[in-house]
Structure 1
């Protein structure tokens, strides 16, 4: 396993551990930080391992950070209707 995949696994483990901690803001600050760190990791994984592995890592990250994606999807749909 190369360095980019190890870093992606560490990112996923950290995100899971953060989700277990109590939070007053329902983990939104942590989610923004995880997104900011995860995008370059995803690019590195895709560059080193190819687009299929990149899509798998993207799916794993999206399953961990599903609520920010759900809210983004709702906002996009709302703006399209207006």
Structure 2
């Protein structure tokens, strides 16, 4: 297992733990921290294992952070169904 894959698995576990802890700001600070650490991790994953695995990692991260992605899509005018 590569270092980038190990770090991404650790990131995914931390994201799930962060989602389970109650929050007053609707998890915004945690989402920003996860995005700030996840994007360089996706780049590292793409560098180390190739672009297709990098895209799969990006899709996995987007599925974990689905609400920020939906809000971003809504803001840029692409729709982004946040109700589902």
TM bin, normalised by shorter chain, reads over 0.9
Question: Runs of 4 or more off by more than 2 Å in structure 1?
Answer: none
| Greater relative CO (CA pairs within 8 A, separation 6+) | 1
The alignment covers a number of residue pairs equal to 78
2:22 corresponds to = 22
Q: List runs of 5+ in structure 2 lacking aligned partners.
A: 79-84
Q: For 1:29-62, what per-residue CA distance to the aligned partner results, in whole angstroms no more than 9, with x for missing partners?
A: 0000000001111000000000111111111100
Structure with higher Rg: it is 1
Structure 1 position 75, deviation (Å):
0.6
Q: Indicate the structure with greater helix content.
A: 1
CA distance in 2, matches of 1:73, 1:43: 21
Q: List runs of 5+ in structure 1 lacking aligned partners.
A: none
TM-score by length of 1: 0.92
